[in-house]
């Protein structure tokens, strides 16, 4: 760890009451985050154990080779391990409502996160990005903007490299994507710049309601750094604090970073200054204009030059499975937006089109109300192909207002679309649902869509 261990230990003790002499730490979850926590604690000389509810976590074998002396409890949460713990470092994939965790908290154990540990370990600026949709895109955009000027940047968190592993990179600045699950258990983060891009129904199978979900997102604004606010989102706009430094962005109205029409051209703006034509942004959908404006607003806070940021945006091709253009076949465009695992992401994708699309949707709705999706589908889709666990919920919400087709799998969905498309159409996979009912993850779902589309060329 290329950091001052003594200073970190002092910070951990001051902020989290965590010291190697007295702390008995239980790491809950043996995934990538849990392993990053274990490496961090070992280097600082803490005593800890790990527990995982799975019988044989996929990463366990490699972990035991690297840390053979670490106590590991699997196949359920061991009550004895929780009983003696003073601190629980709970991985994002584990709900805080687990009985063992609830009982341990009641007995005085303190829940902390890997982000808390990270926040106690860095003196460099940190940019924190969350939101229901777009956070991976904005995180990657900003990371590339910083890297383009030769500055060493650590990019990770919920995206890619776990936050604690970024400490090995000895970066000059860190850009973190953070999920609601990470933020709900984070208390000491103080980012130089932070944003909640948007809040829409998601993860309601884990969060009690939208209020709790939004509150977890708001934790990204803990501390006294600059708040970057999306004024188009009423929930996010209400998070703004008059006593804090604030920068705004919008694709609907005037803001610090916004869109404006000048001489029949739509420009990305910083206040009254034209930065670049929106048409220079090589991404599908207007929601990506919002993502680009958010990235520039964050970049402005950390001192990036606007034209340097524009140069990066002109070359930015987007991320896989996020409004990714797969092919144009016979005048028909096929777009993979498999990362749209919630209603808000699907709505944003559909709103980005002027003409009606053919939509492939469905999967695991995670408790979301599909009636919220119906109005935008009725407005923006000429046909809908549904698949997966909660396809019937979407179909019911549409009330026969749009032609609906049912598919058993992705090959069948693509085949159905190929049979009804006309030149000029766009087929959009934007499921509005999670993927685990049928696929390994959203990447697997998107890859199967891409393969089925490319098979049409054979």
Residues labelled as active-site residues: 135, 158, 203
Q: Are 362 and 377 in contact (CB under 8 A)?
A: no
E strand intervals along 53-114: 72-73, 87-90, 110-112
The answer for 366, left when phi > 0, alpha when psi is -120 to 50, beta otherwise, is left
Angle at Cα 357 formed by Cα 355 and Cα 361, nearest 5°?
150
Long-range contacts of 11-20 (CB under 8 A, 24+ apart): 11/120, 11/121, 12/44, 12/117, 12/120, 15/116, 15/119, 15/120, 15/188, 16/87, 16/110, 16/112, 16/116, 16/117, 16/120, 16/188, 17/110, 18/46, 18/87, 18/112, 20/44, 20/45, 20/46, 20/47
Two structure tokens written together for 150 = 């030769």
Number of H helices, E strands in the chain: 18, 20
């Amino acid at each position: 760890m290329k950091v001052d261990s003594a200073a970190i230990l002092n910070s951990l003790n001051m902020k989290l009451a965590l010291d190697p002499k007295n702390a008995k730490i239980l790491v809950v979850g043996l995934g990538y985050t849990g392993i990053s926590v274990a490496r961090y604690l070992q280097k600082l000389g803490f005593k800890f154990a790990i527990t995982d509810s799975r019988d044989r976590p996929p990463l366990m074998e490699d972990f035991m080779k690297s840390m053979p002396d670490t106590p590991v409890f699997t196949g359920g949460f061991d009550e004895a391990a929780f009983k003696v713990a003073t601190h629980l470092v709970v991985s994002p994939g584990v709900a805080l409502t687990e009985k063992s965790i609830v009982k341990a908290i009641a007995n005085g154990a303190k829940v902390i996160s890997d982000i808390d540990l990270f926040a106690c370990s860095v003196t460099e600026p940190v940019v924190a990005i969350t939101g229901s949709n777009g956070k991976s895109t904005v995180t990657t955009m900003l990371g590339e903007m910083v890297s383009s000027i030769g500055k060493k940047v650590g990019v990770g968190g919920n995206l890619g490299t776990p936050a604690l592993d970024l400490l090995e990179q000895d970066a000059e600045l860190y850009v973190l994507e953070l999920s609601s699950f990470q933020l709900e258990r984070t208390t000491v983060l103080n980012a130089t710049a932070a944003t909640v891009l948007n809040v829409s129904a998601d993860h309601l199978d884990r969060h009690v309601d939208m209020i709790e979900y939004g509150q977890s997102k708001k934790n990204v604004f803990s501390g006294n750094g600059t708040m970057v606010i999306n004024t188009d989102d009423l929930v996010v706009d209400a998070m703004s604090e008059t006593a804090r430094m604030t920068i705004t962005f919008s694709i609907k109205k005037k803001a610090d970073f916004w869109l404006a029409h000048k001489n029949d051209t739509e420009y990305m703006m910083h206040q009254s200054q034209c930065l670049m034509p929106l048409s220079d942004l090589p991404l599908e959908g207007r929601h990506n204009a919002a993502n680009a404006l958010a990235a520039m607003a964050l970049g402005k806070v950390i001192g990036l030059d606007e034209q340097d940021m524009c140069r990066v945006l002109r070359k930015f091709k987007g991320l896989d499975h996020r409004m990714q253009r797969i092919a144009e076949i016979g005048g028909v465009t096929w777009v993979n937006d498999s990362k749209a695992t919630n209603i808000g992401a699907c709505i944003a994708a559909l709103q980005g089109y002027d003409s009606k699309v053919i939509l492939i949707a469905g999967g695991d709705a995670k408790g979301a109300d599909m009636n919220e999706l119906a109005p935008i589908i009725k407005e923006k889709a000429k046909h809908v192909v549904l698949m997966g666990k909660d396809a019937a919920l979407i179909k019911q919400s549409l009330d026969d207002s749009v032609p609906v087709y049912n598919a058993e799998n992705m090959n069948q969905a693509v085949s159905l679309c190929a049979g009804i498309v006309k030149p000029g159409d766009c087929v959009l996979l934007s499921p509005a649902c999670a993927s685990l009912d049928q696929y390994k993850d959203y990447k697997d779902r998107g890859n199967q869509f891409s393969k089925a589309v490319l098979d049409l060329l054979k």
